[in-house]
Chains A and B, each alone.
Chain A
Amino acid sequence: MLGKYKLGLRFKVAFALSALLFLSLFTTGYTSYQQSKQIAENKAIELQQSQLKLLKIKIKSALNEHQNILMSLRDTPPIQAIIDAIKNNGIDSESNESLNVWQQRLNTIFYSFLNNHSQYLQVRYIKSNGEELVRVERKANNHINIASQSELQNKSAEKYVMETTKMRPGQVYYSDVNLNKEYGKIQTPHVPVLRIATPVHNALGEVKALVIINLSTDVLFSNVVSTDHGIRSYIVDQSGNYIKHKDKSKSFAKEQGLDYNFYDIEPQWAERTKNNEELMQLNENSTEIFGFQKIFFAPHDHKRYWLLAIHIPEEIVFSEIKQALDRMIVIHILIAILSVMLIFWFVSKRILYPILTLASSAKKLHHGDLSIRLDPKSVKDEFRLLYYLMNNFAESQQNSTLKLEQKIAAQNKRLSAVIDNVVDAIITIDAYGKIESFNRAATTIFGYSEDEVIGKNVKMLMPDPYQKEHDGYLAHHNKTGEKKIIGIGREVTGKRKNNSTFPMELAVSEVSLDDTKYFVGIVRDITERKRIELMQKEFISTVSHELRTPLTSISGSLGLMLGGVTGELPEKAKELLVIANNNSESLIHLINDILDIEKMSAGKMSFDLNVTDITPVILNAIEANKGYGEKLNVSFTFSSTHTAPLMVNIDEKRIEQVMSNLLSNAAKYSPTHEVVTITLEVLADEVHISVHDQGKGIPKPFRAHIFDKFSQADSSDTRQKGGTGLGLHITKAIVKEHNGRIDFSCDKGNGTTFRFTLPLYTETPLVTDNNEKTNQKALILIIEDNIDIARLLSMMIKNAGYNCHHAYDYQQAKDLIATNQYDAVTLDLIIPGGDGLTLLKELRSKEETRKLPVIVVASPNEDSDKVKASDSIELVDWLEKPIQPEQLVKSIRTSLATKKQQKHHILHVEDDSDIITIVSSLLSNNYHIKQVSTLTEAKQLIAQEQFDLILLDIGLPDGSGLDLLHQLNDNDKNIPVVIFSAHDIPVNIARQVIATLTKSQTDNNKLIEKIHAVIHRKHEKPEKLN
């Protein structure tokens, strides 16, 4: 983030500065560029105009020159003399010389004139009637010819003669410019000719003749030129004929019979020439400048003029301006860049650099680098203060941080000393199981050095199956937050570097630091504790055994003597023997209680739960304690409001133990000849059993501790009443294990009531659902020839939710049974085509139908005994017509249940093919056996199918069968496991399974018996074995 600021500031400042400068330079530059361009252009146009004007003036002055020459020619003496001579019949009156002489003189004058003025083509003297008197002309070969008398023509029809003769003295006539003609033909090469004439008047002021000169306009217009650069300059007359054009063919087009007129060629300009005398301007597209000057060559006729025009391509005029301006722009830009750099350098050095330095220092500070110091002398103004402040801040921070660090270091040292010196291993891992820390105790416990484990997955410290499951646990916890072990101490197995395993206690807590999740695991090696525990347990077991051995002799001897085996005893001796016997019995109780307590504290008290009616259990317990009560002169009475069975899921022996305890206590604390009342009642979904005595009650201070270990009302009681003080403690534990409660109530003077509860057993809905499902699928075959009865049966069966098929005779029944899989059959004994009994026998003889449940639907007069007595016929039920629906449905249910239970499923996990063969041959008749040889297959099958028993080998190709046990325990799969292995099974494992059989020591019968026993213990009430 800070980095971005740094870059940003520099960039922004540079950008802003350059943008600002460029903007101002651009606007000023652009406007001045535009203005100067405008001015320069105007100036250039003006220049062009004045140049054109100059050209016009030159032409005009040239015309004046010609005019003056003409005037001087008019004023030569022969001109008037010839007029005079003509008037006086060929002789002039002044000098008396002949017309001919004057003509000769004029010829000479004109000749020398032409000789000296090369631009003139012809000079003539014409009488006002059009007769040529003198004509001197320049021929194409530059030869000057004086026209002879015969060559002279009459020109009275020519316009110049007519026009000129109308003029007053001194006036001049200008002809149009034409191509010179010789003998009526246009002379080639073209010679453009302008005729200038002036009238000659006599003394009386009458027009008598005219002098005319022909002038080649080539010289006159010689300055009107076009260039190779595209400048076009030309002259047109007022009617648009080109009289000077760089392309000769375009000049005098009309005379040559061509159509090429200025007004057609340049209409846009021609339009503007009409009302202006002069013009110089840029055309609309700014491609060229057009200018013209009107030359009014005929002084007395303003309608006639020449248009001197010029086209100048724009770039010729402006190219220099443009170049100059371009240079200016470049210089501008250079100046701009230079100034930006200059300003930026300044801003950078004076403002940005300090700001950025401050920023980067602040960033370093932010990241904890407190060593930075800035040089205040390197900057000026307020920055110097900021530098000072920054230095001060850093320094003070550094000092305090240093102190803090020292403090933390000391604390860390102390902490790591503590962590390293705790006996427990402390391991932290990240959310993915990677080990982050590993204290010294951990290295001792696991045998790894710190370097060997840091960064590795904590799985390496676990044996299978924990190792495989750990990643899953972590992922699951990270996803769901569900805690399997966090916050809950657990005993697990650890794996050392040398692959040995050991029991350990693991406590894991979750820690969140800076949004990162860690797990702290505290591991305690409990090998030693376990060893001591085991020793203790064995010690207790041994001690109790060692105590029992002498007690056996003592109580045995006493019992025999009291039993009269040694003959009649003296009364006093008998009394003493009774005392001895009672005390030895107390001792035995004590030992049993101690063993129970030991089991309870280890959580190993085992319960053999069965669903049973509670009432007989209570009655048995009362019966068993009756003798004890009689000894104390106390009797028991039992009352119950229920006659129907009250089913509870209990360990009968343990509940009897509870009852014995409560009954003996009640007897002990009852006054003699009193009655102890036992009541059984049902409240909500619980059975309440209470034992009420008439004793003096429990002393108040003692009530809170009545269920504690070794508690009795007062120590004097112990001796008086006997007992260990452990009874109620054990009683409470047993009741709790049965999900019941126990409490007591005392009414002073009204005795004490102990009450405990047991939950009534109800079948879980899941099981009912399953039954319903199977029922719906069940398919029943009705074999019955009477259609009405068949329909009735069908209706009843369908109403109960089953499907059914009909068979009306023997053969049809056989065919249907052969093609369909029936769950049960109802059979009429009298059917067409054969009799029911034969069919039944036939069914029983075949393997596939041997177990098919058959319900006989018989007529009342049939001899049922005959059928029932037949060998090998298993009937589910015998129903007599008329059939009651409930009866039929009940019977079908039973038959389906029978069918379901017929063969139990056994999973045999074994890799030895001989054993597989033997076990299969031994068990396959009575059980469905699925055989697998690996652990993996076994796990798959267990997940997919239901088994009633697993016969498990330990040494398997892909692991130990014990792993399967772990899995079954974890999954709460309540499948009994019988280990059938060549190995000796350790006691702790043996406890987890129903039975263990050692291969070498187990014969075939024993195997069959064992499996039978286990399966039937599960499915029926277990057989009491001792």
Chain B
Amino acid sequence: MQKLIRILYAEDQVDIQQVATLALETVGGLTLKTCNTGLEAVDAIHPFEPQLLLFDVMMPDMDGPTALAKIREIDQYKNIPAIFMTAKVQSNEIQNYLDMGALAVIAKPFDPMTLASQIKEIWQRNQQSYDT
């Protein structure tokens, strides 16, 4: 089973970026590539080659779902797992994100101390379902 290391993270709020970066890198020991918009994330994909995408939904330039679709158009990333982290978490909204192909949705505000473990768990579960 592959270990989760590299996450491509897109979030337009710099404050939240910082908190999340601390939570994931410092607390969780993951490697993060942080982008400010969806468009940046699409551009950043090649040099970084992430294992997982962690996207905010509402961003300027390009929103999370669009960025995800763009990335998945690339053959290499057509099955890349993605998690949306958003404040819009009413049940129908969550369903919409899942329908867009997200693995899971993490609600904002998140608990910075458990964020990394939460993501790792989702990753693990997804890996298992692939393996079986």
Mark A residues whose CB is within 8 Å of B.
Answer: 541, 544-545, 548-557, 559-560, 563, 565, 584, 588, 595, 599, 606, 987, 990-991, 995-997, 1001, 1006, 1010, 1025-1026
Contact = CB atoms under 8 A, between A and B. Distances in A.
B4 interface: no
A553 B91 contact: no
Nearest to B125: A1024
Contacts of B7: none
Assign chain B's interface to a size class: 20 to 34
Interface string B87-131: 110111011101101001110111111000000001000000000
Nearest to B100: A1001
Interface in B1-60: 13, 15-16, 18-20, 22-23, 26-27, 58
Contacts of B99: 995-997, 1010
Given A541-B88, A990-B96, A565 B26 contact: yes
Nearest to A598: B90
B20 A556 contact: yes
A655 to B, nearest CB: 16
Nearest to A606: B91
Contacts of A599: 90
A553 B15 contact: yes
Nearest to A562: B113
B110 A556 contact: yes
Contact of B106 (A554, A606, A1026): A1026
Nearest to B26: A565
Nearest to B79: A1005
Nearest to A998: B99
Contacts of B23: 556, 559-560, 565
B103 to A, nearest CB: 8
Given A553-B16, A556-B19, A991-B92, A1026 B105 contact: yes
Interface of B: 13, 15-16, 18-20, 22-23, 26-27, 58, 69, 87-88, 90-92, 94-96, 98-99, 101, 104-106, 108-113, 122
The 10 residue pairs across chains A and B that have the minimum distance between CB atoms: A556-B19, A548-B87, A553-B15, A1026-B104, A552-B109, A563-B113, A559-B112, A552-B108, A545-B87, A556-B112
B125 to A, nearest CB: 9
Nearest to A557: B19
A560 B19 contact: yes
Given A557-B19, A557-B112, 7 more contacts: A553-B18, A556-B110, A557-B15, A560-B113, A588-B109, A595-B90, A1006-B101
A1010 B100 CA distance: 11
B104 A560 contact: no
Contacts of A557: 15, 19, 112
B107 to A, nearest CB: 8
Nearest to B15: A553
Contacts of A565: 22-23, 26-27, 112
Chain B interface secondary structure, helix, strand, loop or mixed?
helix
A548 B86 CA distance: 9
A693 to B, nearest CB: 27
26 contacts: A545-B58, A549-B16, A550-B15, A552-B13, A552-B16, A552-B87, A553-B18, A553-B19, A555-B109, A555-B112, A556-B19, A557-B15, A557-B112, A559-B23, A560-B112, A560-B113, A563-B27, A565-B26, A565-B112, A595-B90, A987-B92, A990-B96, A1006-B101, A1025-B104, A1026-B94, A1026-B98
B113 A549 contact: no
A595 B107 CA distance: 14
A325 to B, nearest CB: 114
A943 B56 CA distance: 44
A554 B15 CA distance: 9
Contact of B27 (A544, A560, A1006): A560
A1000 to B, nearest CB: 11
Contacts of A1025: 98, 104
Nearest to A548: B87
Contacts of A991: 92
A997 B96 CA distance: 10
B27 A549 contact: no
Given A997-B99, A1026-B105, A552 B91 contact: no
A599 B92 CA distance: 11
Contacts of B106: 1026
Given A565-B26, A997-B99, A1006-B101, A545 B88 contact: yes
Contacts of B87: 544-545, 548-549, 552
Residue with the highest number of chain A CB atoms closer than 10 Å, among B20, B22, B99, B110: B99
A289 to B, nearest CB: 127
A563 B116 CA distance: 13
B130 to A, nearest CB: 12
Contacts of B88: 541, 545
Contacts of B113: 559-560, 563
A555 B111 CA distance: 8
Nearest to B104: A1026
Max chain A C-beta neighbours (<10 A), residue from B13, B90, B122: B90
B92 A552 contact: no
A541 B19 contact: no
Contacts of A588: 109
Contacts of A987: 92
Contacts of A1010: 99
A559 B118 CA distance: 15
Nearest to B14: A553
A550 B91 CA distance: 22
B63 to A, nearest CB: 13
Given A541-B88, A552-B109, A1006-B101, A560 B16 contact: no
A584 B122 CA distance: 26
Nearest to A607: B91
Nearest to B101: A1006
Given A549-B13, A1026-B94, A563 B104 contact: no
A1006 B20 CA distance: 30
Nearest to A587: B109
Contacts of A554: 109
B113 to A, nearest CB: 4
A321 B94 CA distance: 126
Contacts of B20: 556
Nearest to B95: A995
Q: For B15, B19, B95, B105, which residue has the most chain A Cβ atoms within 10 angstroms?
A: B19
A991 to B, nearest CB: 5
Contact of B19 (A548, A552, A606): A552
B90 A541 contact: yes
A560 B91 contact: no
A556 B110 CA distance: 7
Contacts of B58: 545
B105 to A, nearest CB: 5
Contacts of B98: 1025-1026
Nearest to A1010: B99
A990 B109 contact: no
Nearest to A584: B109
A605 to B, nearest CB: 9
Which interface residue of A563, A588, A599, A1001 has the most chain B CB atoms within 10 A? A563
B104 A549 contact: no
B108 A549 contact: yes
Contacts of A1001: 69
Nearest to B78: A1003
A544 B88 CA distance: 8
Contacts of B109: 548, 551-552, 554-556, 584, 588
Contacts of A559: 23, 111-113
B16 A556 contact: yes
A93 to B, nearest CB: 189
B108 A606 contact: no
A656 B16 CA distance: 29
B98 to A, nearest CB: 6
A1006 B98 CA distance: 11
A30 B87 CA distance: 121
A541 to B, nearest CB: 7
A553 B105 contact: no
Contacts of B105: 1026
